[in-house]
Structure 1
């Protein structure tokens, strides 16, 4: 019986001691420090209906503030909370830190879920984790990564991850990568490295050192590419530039579309500088006039408006000219008149046949000419006059006569009794 009385006395004293420790500062509200460290664990509760469940050196100073545990955490404003971790601070109304270390939720309804040294600095901002991320825009989100930053004007912007990415305008997006920048509203960089979207509605998909600087401009990928005009597009490649409104470079290397609505489909060192001009591919080609087209090949130039050049070193200099050059490494220029059709084909030309020849022994089709037929004068026709070449003609340079092959010899057309 004596032992039972002693035990009851000890329990009574212990209950009195704990009860006295629970009520710290208010005669009306209840502040609770629970857990094993509550009896002298260095936790502090000064807010009405606030609580610290455990840990050491934690402080709940806002009304209804909550700290679950950990060390050195603080919930400083009403309805703020820190679940755990180390040196975390929820110092704004209804702000929250889930865990991690040295994280700060410093604006109302802001949240840091975890990680290290992250800051949610504006109302309803969110940082999911990672290290040294700072979401300072209204309703902005940084999901993770490191050293990512959304500025105070970056409301409703998102950085999904990566490192050292930066948003300085509203409604923007960076998916990941490293050192990417978005500085105008409703723009995005999905990934890559050192990419920039600097005008509104601009987009960079990925790659490295790409720039979308026109409104609604797009660089899909590649490296060192630039789309610097409204609606300009670079699909990929390297050192490709779309510099006028609605111009496009699909890819390749060192290609430039500098005319309004111009296009370079690919290749190397091609330029479409005329309005609505196009280069399909090849190397060293230029479509310099409005509505010009270079089909491909090498070192071709379409300069007159509505002109066409293809092959090698074809030069369509006049409006409406069509120049087709073969593979010879030699210049082939148009005449000085407009609307001409020139062909350089050292292996011959075939019409409606399956082969070409410099010989005219086997005609492939009938040709109707509704204009002037220009024959280059010569004293040495390229074929001999025999039965296989009957009907051939040439302009004799010495006689200044038109000569005709009758199947036996060359005769002057104006006097068949005279030979050439």
Structure 2
């Protein structure tokens, strides 16, 4: 079945004698509704919920050929009813229903049943069950003809993105990249570049490329994507895309573009009032200034941010650690050591705890307090390896080899000297 959601919205709006402005109310912009009604853009789930409530039909109306004017009783085992439950976020209801009566589930002929059940498991973090069903959905989709594929490509891309997110939980970036590239290809083939899921997949690909140290891939992908789609802005996604570009650029030493993109990310996070991600962006901005040795600007930013987050103890701890790292980069080791003694370590999250240990480990090494140095450096070794912080690991293994004279540290030192990785503390 062709995707005529926009046409159905328009027809039903006109039947209800509503103008676009009346349907939009204060919830959405009229120009956005116009693009939805002409199938230029696909509505989000939140928008569909709003529109279906205003037009007095269930969400499933927009995905089926049923005439709801006939007031038909829903078929509790139809694909349309399954779709409606999923869009209403009744994931446990879907799972419970078909775990109890799997025979009825098998009788549903539409292969999208695997999507809705698999995604329901995904939403409640039952990853193994989700993987089996979503892979079955993907394999079935790829055997379908072009007409069926085109009609279901959005679900297909969402399934691939869900599998990618599951792979990322185990840091399986290669498999995550594989799923995302398939989704990207099909969305392009079926001309869905304006869709929300296409933006999500490009954003996640940028994240994966950065974690695989494919920084040039991130830049080529996302610079081209933002240029082609500069008239479309999904506010939830675009700040993350600019953030990925910030990380990619500073890892190749292009600090001008790195700063340009982190400023855009900060602006957009402010616009959508996402203070948690805004705080993380501020950290990235400070790091970028460190990498290009703009230390005074970095200290000034920290001072401004301390005022902005004066009532956020967690953020203040992170900013204090940033000052410690700046002192460390400037070789002001006594100042850094003194600040570490005043820091509330327990209030830091894992990454910042590891950075704290690295700083103390190297300072104690320089002070020839080797037992303390070794203990702190060993604490962050595993995490830094998992994050591929190559520059920091080289120094870490130099210190550990000198302290212990163990060959395993000498081997690891040479390994990371010949490996490309990501920047973290060292500049």
Structure with bigger helix share is 2
TM-score normalised according to structure 2 size: 0.18
Structure with bigger strand share is 1
Bigger relative contact order (CA 8 A; separation at least 6)? 2
Which of structures 1 and 2 has the bigger CA Rg? Answer: 1
